[in-house]
Homo-oligomer: A and B are copies of this chain.
Amino acid sequence: MNIKDSKLPQKKIVNDPVYGFIDIPNGLIYDIVEHPYFQRLRRVKQLGLTYLVYPGAIHKRFQHALGAMHLMNSAIEVLRNKGHKITEEESTAVLIAILLHDIGHGPFSHGLEKTIVHGINHEEISLIFMNKLNEEFEGKISLAIQIFQNKYKKTFLHQLVSSQLDVDRLDYLRRDSYFSGVTEGAIGSDRIIKMLNVVNDNLVIEAKGIYSIEKFLISRRFMYWQVYLHKTVIAAEQMLVKILERAKYLSNNNIDLFATPALKYFLYNKIDKENFANSKSLEKSSLDFFAELDDYDIISSLKAWTYSDDKPLSMLCKLFLNRKLLKIKIQKQPFDENVILEVKNDVQNNLLLNDSELKYFVFSGEIISNTYSIDDDKINILYKDGTLLDIAEASDVLNVSVLSKIVKKNYLCYYKI
């Protein structure tokens, strides 16, 4: 980060390829950015394993969090210019809220949330982090936490952080597009922000922005199917899950595995929601270990496991690291049991696996996605006469009900003989 430490009244600035320069607005925010909790995000890829399909998609959560803060700043300016009062304190709070909204993400979180940590999701961990930071910063983050939790009176501030049209999405679509090279995900975030307004304490879009919203929703859908849920990415994520499941199985059986300290803690202890904030390993809490966990722990351990005596573990790790990924088939209907059985037989015979090992090389499951949640807060369009309409009704061209439908697909992953 290109931050000047002179005492001159100069702004702190970060170079960012998406927006040019990002200003750090004040000293409190600067201190949060400098905190080890936030610096960890430099070592957590925003898109997990997507880089195995799109080699450029190696940007980090650190950059995204700063970018979202940058857009939040623009949004605040636009709303103030339209006459909506946002105090300096509220402004700082909402900037901190967006900066920290993803602080609880672990490495490769889609793959890891169910193997390393149980029964606690990244939003809950984010909140634990925020509360911890609030202690350290002597209550200065309280308002940010209220906004994050939607407990502050001004709802629209929460909606800027988390809603169908939050600056989180506005940044990540543009940023994921920039780094992956999938230009179709680039959205007109500037134009959308200029169209923001507030009615009855709710964030709305002015009517002439309706086409921008349609385009935003379609771009998002595009990125979902072309990038985020690309079948090769899913195959890689599922392989990683299987690798970690096997490692967890071995550690549960007291087999000694190489692991970085932070990963070792999560492999050899059972961590769930309850003991997350409280459990102590000597002097360190689960949170402390989680605050150390990043992409490097996972990948370096996988590399070491190629030396493991356990055949499924070492074999999967070798395949994964050399990008010889399992094959994947995707279809709407669940896969026929007989088909799966046949594949299993072939693989078992070919790899000489025993029954308990086979499940790591042939397995099926469901992918679930929805682009627009009709039950959550809606995207409301504000017409000149003051009426409001959900985009689902306002747009004649989009079947928003389709976007909002939870799409389930089935996959079958298997070792290609």
Contact = CB atoms under 8 A, between A and B. Distances in A.
A36 interface: yes
Interface of A: 1-2, 8-11, 13-18, 20-21, 34, 36, 39, 42-43, 51-56, 58-60, 62-63, 66, 81-83, 178-184, 186-188, 190-191, 194, 211-212, 214-215, 218-219, 221-222, 225-226, 232, 258, 260-262, 292, 294-297, 299-301, 303-304, 307, 321-323, 396-399, 402-403
Contact of A39 (B2, B184, B297, B322): B322
27 contacts: A2-B232, A9-B82, A11-B81, A13-B194, A15-B53, A15-B56, A15-B181, A16-B56, A17-B56, A17-B178, A20-B183, A21-B194, A36-B321, A42-B323, A58-B59, A184-B211, A186-B186, A211-B225, A211-B226, A212-B222, A212-B226, A215-B219, A218-B218, A258-B260, A296-B299, A296-B303, A300-B301
Nearest to A211: B222
Given A62-B55, A191-B184, A397-B403, A261 B218 contact: no
Given A190-B20, A398-B398, A399-B398, A63 B59 contact: no
**Most-contacted residue by chain B among A184, A190, A219, A222 (CB, 10 A):** A184
Contact of A307 (B10, B226, B261): B261
A303 B221 CA distance: 38
A376 B139 CA distance: 56
Nearest to A41: B55
Given A188-B183, A212-B222, A304-B260, A2 B63 contact: no
Contacts of A13: 194
A321 B37 CA distance: 11
B54 A63 contact: no
Contacts of A402: 396-397
A52 B1 CA distance: 6
A59 to B, nearest CB: 7
A56 B55 contact: no
